[in-house]
Amino acid sequence: MRNPVAQSSESFDVSVIGAGPAGATVANLTAAAGLRTLLVERSPEPQLKVGESLMPATYWTLERLGVLDRMRESAFPKKFSVQFFGSNGQGSAPFYFRDADPHESSQTWQVRREEFDSLLCAAAAECGADVRWGRAVREVRFEGERAVGLLVDGPEGPVSVSSQVVVDASGQSALLAGRLGLRTPDPCLRNAAYWCHVRGARLDDGDDAGATLIFHTAEKRSWFWLIPLPDGLVSVGVVGSVEYLVRKDEGGPARVFDDELALCPALAERLVAAERVGPMRVSRDFSYRVDRVAGDGWVAVGDAAGFIDPIYSSGVFLALKSGEMAADAIVEALEAGDPSGERLGAWVGEYGQGMEAVRRLVYAFYDPKFSFARFVDAYPELRSDIIHVLTGNVYGRSNEPLARALDAYQGVEAAPAGGVV
Ligand SMILES: Cc1cc2nc3c(=O)[nH]c(=O)nc-3n(C[C@H](O)[C@H](O)[C@H](O)COP(=O)(O)OP(=O)(O)OC[C@H]3O[C@@H](n4cnc5c(N)ncnc54)[C@H](O)[C@@H]3O)c2cc1C
């Protein structure tokens, strides 16, 4: 009979749950700093995932992780801009990232996530992290309030792992936030997404061929993304409120997608000759705050520390950024022999400020009265501030002028207060 208690025990300085961008970043940097690091992932291999369009500011973390050359040599399409199409089908001028920050970093990539995650994990392993695929973490082990390790599924039964620091990088599973009751849905962003890959979509030329295009549907009740991927694949998804989209789901997910596409002639025209490749995927209720992202012996990063919304493709950037900031805090905390929540979460205030700058522009996007074109007409001097947010340049600069102008323009108070991030 299988023994339900842990079969064996292993010891690490840092154990990381989840081999997405956040987990791979922490594992890379803590292992490179000489800490014995375990990275455990429940999937047997890297998976196709949503989250394919990067923000340019990922450049700096990718540089630190030592993967920029691999990105440059990859087949990932180059992304120079984002362009928004209104409900009347009219396109804004493309927001070229180089207009705000002319540097190599103002170009980024559109990625296939199974390849991107795999590349990040390979780099973490090269730095010395022990990366294990196909191993689900059952639970985080606590002694009192302090996290002391993991219980991980193994071929012979559960394995107990001890570590000085546990990093929750489990994405939307948000293992620790769920267990500790720290997850609060964002009531302003109760959205769902229906998305798939297609082949044969019409793309623009030159530098615009790799752009992310965002299309409002008629009446602005939903919006589509179009993200060019390698080998002629294109990711297309529609996002709208759960209330609006899911109630239309009786005919199946593909029907929801097609019905919304019929409300979006500017995109439909680009997809006339396109064929779907693979299933229609559905994701919902993905926006939430996490009220506390660090405690004694643990810290959460990436989506496990909160998720805003996909509109500006900020998720992977914030996963990399939080992974980087948390890794630095872990190294300092363990050097000082003090893995307390205070030390492990020393980065959270600064991180939360950048996240709020993105969130403020997200709330504007979902305001039916808001229009980027009219806002830029009213505040031409803030066009580059908008590009800075779309680029992910929200750290080390003031995001206040844009936030104040958005408040004045929309005639509302600042976004509803919530947790730290
Ligand atoms: C509809 C939609 C569209 C999006 N589009 C974009 C976009 O275009 N650009 C962008 O940047 N972001 C986008 N995002 C967000 C992006 O997908 C995430 O922010 C990003 O993947 C977060 O990275 P992560 O490392 O935190 O989590 P993930 O990439 O989700 O990785 C978490 C990993 O943890 C593993 N895991 C979970 N539980 C366990 C367990 N118990 N044991 C072991 N392993 C476990 C999972 O299998 C997974 O591999 C989108 C999100 C949504 C919902």
List all residues 6 or more positions away from 311 whose beta carbon is below 8 Å from its beta carbon. 214, 223, 239, 362, 365, 366
- Quickly list DSSP for 184-229: EE-GGG-EEEEEEEEES-----GGGGG-EEEEEPGGGSEEEEEEE-
Atom of ligand 1 nearest to the CA of 43: 47
* pLDDT at residue 232 in the model: 95
From CA 316, how far away is CA 67, in angstroms rounded? 15
From CA 123, how far away is CA 219, in angstroms rounded? 45
* pLDDT at residue 416 in the model: 40
Mean pLDDT by 10 residues, the chain (421 residues): 58 98 98 98 96 97 98 97 90 88 92 98 98 97 97 91 98 97 94 97 96 94 97 97 83 92 97 96 95 98 97 97 98 98 97 95 89 88 92 92 91 42 31
Closest C-alpha to ligand 1, atom 1: 193
Q: Is 398 exposed, middle or buried (0-12, 13-18, 19+ CB in 10 A)?
A: exposed
Superfamily of 1-76+111-186+285-421 according to CATH: FAD/NAD(P)-binding domain (3.50.50.60)
Atom of ligand 1 nearest to the CA of 47: 49
Alpha carbon of residue 219 to chain centroid: 28
Per DSSP, the three-state class of 138 is strand
Alpha carbon of residue 391 to chain centroid: 14
b/e string for 186-223 if b means 16 or more Cβ within 10 A? bebbbbbbbbbbbeebeebeeebebbbbbbbbeebebb
Atom of ligand 1 nearest to the CA of 18: 34
* pLDDT at residue 155 in the model: 85
Query: Residue 118 Cα, ligand 1 centroid: separation in angstroms?
Result: 13
pTM of the model: 0.95
Query: Residue 23 Cα, ligand 1 centroid: separation in angstroms?
Result: 10
Q: Which of 117, 241, 316 to mutate to test the pocket of ligand 1 (most atoms within 8 A of CB)?
A: 316
Lining residues, ligand 1, CB within 6 Å: 17-23, 40-43, 49-54, 136-137, 169-173, 175, 193, 237, 283, 286, 302-304, 307, 310, 313, 315-317, 319
CATH of 78-103+191-284, one of 3.30.9.100, 3.40.50.300, 3.40.50.9100, 2.60.120.560: 3.30.9.100
Query: Residue 172 Cα, ligand 1 centroid: separation in angstroms?
Result: 6
Atom of ligand 1 nearest to the CA of 322: 26
Query: Residue 33 Cα, ligand 1 centroid: separation in angstroms?
Result: 25
From CA 6, how far away is CA 371, in angstroms rounded? 56
From CA 45, how far away is CA 113, in angstroms rounded? 12
Q: Where are the domains of the chain?
A: 1-76+111-186+285-421, 78-103+191-284
